Structure formats: structure tokens, C-alpha cells
Amino acid sequence: MTQDLRAAIGLLRCTNAELSGELERLAGGNPFVQIVPSPVQQIASIWQDTRTVPAVARPPVLPPPPRGLGQISVEQAGAGAPGLHDHVCRQIGMMFRDEDQRRLALCFAEALEPTGWLGLPISSIAGACDVPLQSAEAVLARLQQVEPAGLFARSLAECLSLQAVDQGLMTPAFAIVLQNLPMLAKGDLAGLATLCALSEADVRDILLAIRRLNPKPGASFDPAPPRAVEPDMILRRCPSGWVIELNRSTLPGLVVQDPAGPEASAESRRAAEWLHSAVDRRNATTLKVGQEVVRLQLAYLEGGPVDLVPMSFGSVAASVGVHETTISRVTAGLLVSAPGRGFLLRELFSNALPRTGGVGGISAAAVRHQIAALIAAERPEAPLSDAAIAAHFQAQGVTLARRTVVKYREMLKLPAAARRRALVRQAPGT
């Protein structure tokens, strides 16, 4: 693989914002290359300039000039405590020296929920960043050392376990209790005492220690103002149907100019023309992929998540005429703005679950949304068991095992039927 080919592949996985930085790096000191910032970047540059313009000297007889808006904003921002995302990113910058690992760690940071828990499965983050699952797990293990303890946990048990280890509370008995939190929720101290080979009084001591831990370590941070994220593509509905296009307002441009001087070599000219061509290919490929995804997912755009059809990288690649790894790279982080909502293009890809008799298939993502809808509509006093949900899909001709229902329910962070029933009983007035 040549250096030019590696660079072209790197451009494919860039969002519009990342493309600007990558162009700056690739252009280097090439006199033939002129990068034209997008309007959004130009506005940001103007705002930055207003914060760095020195104050103008005035006659001493006049009162001092008022502080500029930029100065006030900077001082106010520095006065308060940082938000969860800024706090985590600051620690990531100190922990990870390797650029690829740092980039992957920042993807994990983007998936943090306000509670401090990880909001996406590790497999989804690994797939979005196009890295092996083992590499993602190694980075997550380091991220779980971030202070305060408990951040980047994937479950309540893991969150509490990280804090117990940090505070020196972890013992074999403590670990057994954390592995059996449903028993603790039911108040089955006798059963836990048997499992731990302890007395019920000792189990109560462990329970008191658990209650002192923080199940939402991220909630202790002051909420940071929402970060404006400009979409990479814009989806809109026209009289003729759905249309998707690149967001030109955030897309940097590149112009090949003709400078004069000894540094204007033929090699520099060739590199500038190659870079211009690579950017055009990146934009054209991104647009083709977006158009094909929209064509295949018209039912989703009209009806919502339950109408998401199965779609793989391979099927889109065959239609567009590229390799499926190209589809993986292009869709890794592209944000699409649609009427009333926004979504990552990668979210519309989903495996197919077989139907009885081999007729067609149904999207796994659509099944997950249907499971969430079934649980939301269930009678609180008689929640649906995982076996009942599996039977519901079996009656519709969808081959779905009970263990698959359990996996999907846990991905949705929905408790089991017994826990849902217990929560209803604990609610006031029931």
C-alpha cells in the first residue's frame, strides 16, 4: 500500500470537521495548495480573533473601556467546574500518548451518558472506529481507571465494583454480592449469606458499604452546556421524495493555485493535484453511500425505527461499486441531520434475523425497538417474561431465541420481568 493510498483511505473515514485538520496536515508547506475554510470555520475564526485583539489605548481622562464579550465568556467559563466530558477528555490527553489509542479513547468519551456509564456496547464503538474488539477492550480497561472511580462502567455491578476496588473494599464476599444484585434487591440476605459463607449480619455490613457507593459518578459534575455539533450530511424531504446532500457549510474546500518562486516544484504540483482529486473522491463516495442508504431505508424514514430493514456493509458496497471496508470507513462517524432529529449513518445498518420458512428477514435493530415497545405497553402488574417476548416473535414468524431477547433487553438497559414487577410494587400508591 503506497503512502498516497493510505492517505486517501484516511480521508474516507473523516467527518467534515476532521477533514479540515487532515487537509492542513497533508498540505504541509505545499505552495500550490490553498485550503478554503467552510463558513462555519470562518465564523469560528472570527470569534477567536475577537478574543485575542489587544485593547486600544485611550486618553487617561476617559473611563476604561468595558470588557469585550469574549473576555467575559472566557472568565465565566473558567470560573465554574468543568463538565463531565471536558473532565474526561483532559485525563485522556494525559493518559494516552499513542494517537490511535487517544482517538479511540475520545470515541468512548463521546459515548458517555450523564450518569458516567458507557451508553453504547463496546462492539459498536470498536466497529465505528474500525478497530479490533480486543484493542477497544484494552483502551476501555485503561479508561476505567479515570477519576472518579466508576466512570465508563457498562452496568451497575461494574460501576460499583470499580469503586469498591478503588476504595479497598473488594473481597471475595463483596464480589459475590455484586454478582447477585437481583438477590440484594429482593432482600434475600439469607440466600446471599449462604453464597458468601457469612452471617446475615456480615451481609448487612456489605449492604451498608454498597449504599455508600455512587451508582452515578458522572452526575456529580456540573452539567456542561450542550456542544453544538454540525451535521456532515443533510436529509430533507422534497415533493419528489427524500434527498440527502453533503453539508457544504461545514465542508472545507481545496484550491490548486499557481504560485511563483523556486519552491514551486513539479513534485509539489503533482501532490496538490492528487490531494484535490482525493478530496473530490471522498466527497463523491460519501454522497453515493448516503444516497444508497436512503434508498434502502425509505420505510424507516417514513415509519420510524420499527421499520428499519436489514442492511449490511456488503449490500451497500455492491450497489455503490466499492469494497465493504470502504462503507465501514465512510459511515464510521457521519452525522445526518433530518427533519426533527439527527442520527449517525452507521445506526441504520443492522443484521437480519431469519423468518420461519426462510421468507425474507427482519432487522435486528427493528426487533430491539419492538421489544422496547412491548415492554412499554405491558401491564405493570403482569410484566412480560423473556420467554413470552420470544414467543410473541415466534408467532409472527421471526426466529428469536430467549437468550437473544435477554441480550437485546440488556442492550436497551431494561430490567428483567421480576425486577420490573418489584419496581412497580415499590412505587408509592401501588
Backbone angles phi, psi at 343, to 5 degrees: -160, 160
33 forms beta bridges with 256
d(CA 430, CA 428) in angstroms, rounded, equals 6
Identify the DSSP state of 118.
B
SS3 278: helix
The label of the residue with cell 443533510 reads: 234
For residue 45, is pLDDT > 70? Answer: no
Note the pLDDT tens digit of each residue in 402-415. Answer: 999 999 999 888 89
Count of beta carbons in the 10 Å neighbourhood of residue 260: 7
Beta bridge partners of 363: 352
> What tens digit of pLDDT does each residue of 382-405 get?
899 999 999 999 888 888 889 999
- The distance of Cα 318 from the centroid of its chain, to the nearest Å, equals 27
Residue 253 three-state SS: strand
Q: What is the DSSP letter of 342?
A: E
**124-136 average pLDDT score:** 83
| Mean pLDDT value across residues 120-149 | 86
Claim: this prediction has a pTM higher than 0.85: no
Question: What are the respective helix, strand and coil percentages of the chain, to the nearest 5?
Answer: 60, 10, 35
What average pLDDT score do residues 124-137 get? 84
Alpha helices, H only, 167-227: 172-179, 181-186, 189-196, 200-211
Closest C-alpha to 407, from 379, 371, 363, 361: 371
User: What is the end-to-end Cα distance of the chain in Å, rounded?
Assistant: 66
C-beta pairs of 183-191 under 8 Å, 24+ apart in sequence = 184/210, 185/419, 185/422, 186/422
Lowest mean pLDDT among 9-13, 47-51, 110-114, 294-298: 47-51
| Tens of pLDDT, residues 208-225 | 888 888 888 888 776 545
